[in-house]
Amino acid sequence: MGNWVTVFKEKDRMRAELLKNELENNNIETVILDKVDHNYPVLGIVEIKVLESQKTLAEQIINDFRIDD
């Protein structure tokens, strides 16, 4: 198993899920790490992590995803 790196941080869980789906549609293994304090759900962030070997491609897709917003 490879090393996982953070490629995106977001406060909005739904937006992170949409981006995760976009990455997976491009055959990039993706994990969401939820750092939101569920006692205070407005605090915290969600991180999207990918394998280090897929980082460059993931960053390109993320940039395209932001442009399409």
Q: How confident is the model at residue 2 (pLDDT cuts 50, 70, 90)?
A: confident
- 22 burial (CB, 10 Å; 0-12 / 13-18 / 19+) is middle
- Assess contact for 47 and 1: CB atoms under 8 A: no
Mean pLDDT of 40-49: 81
Q: How many residues in the chain? A: 69
pLDDT tens by residue, 9-32: 988 888 999 999 999 999 999 999
What structural domains and CATH numbers belong to the chain? Answer: 4-68 (3.30.70.1530)
Residue with tokens 């953070």: 6
* CA dist., res. 55 & res. 69, Å (int): 21
* List of E strands, 3-51: 4-10, 30-34, 46-51
